[in-house]
Structure 1
Amino acid sequence: MARKSDWGAALFSITHPNGLTDAVAVSGRDRWALEALVKSGSKGCTPIDTPGPRWSGYVHNLRKLGVPIETVTESHDGPFAGTHARYVLKATVKRLEARTA
């Protein structure tokens, strides 16, 4: 089981499609979501294939930090047919390693 201390602040570089680069510090579930988006690549993540309690909230917070994330609306079948969101990073994101003294 993951401990809260496992999700402290981490620094990420965000290289936007226009070539500009930013750095952001992300922690907690927002960090978990960003790492899941990075791992998923161009496929992106949905709350169905990468369960998390508040994906829309994590994406909202990441966008406020300047992380470009596209929302794609998809249909799904089943007894509760409807739509769900797929979130896809629109930048190259890399975790920066902490420097040691």
Structure 2
Amino acid sequence: MDDSPPPEHYTREPWWVVLVAAAVASLLPVWQYDEAQRANTTNLSLPVLMAAFALAGAVAGTLLVIRSHFRSPYLAGCALVAGMVVAALMVSVLSARW
């Protein structure tokens, strides 16, 4: 059995972080949807956009929870970077002109 102390990042995030991330991310398209409809540049409905962002938020939240279960600092860092890439993609898609 490994008696060494856990790494500094080893905090075990709770599972409900995934649900919170999905709920918050699903609300992001609401802020830009009115502008997109006025410009008539999107063919996607608001529920479709909200579902897509909720899925991306759930992926980012899952990566955060998975990261907290890795004992290897390298794997935890890889999961953190992957989560940041997903979050950055969500922000860039949302801030881009529709």
With normalisation by structure 1, the TM-score equals 0.22
> Which structure has the highest strand share of the two?
1
- Which has the larger Rg? 2
With normalisation by structure 2, the TM-score equals 0.22
> Which structure has the highest helix share of the two?
2
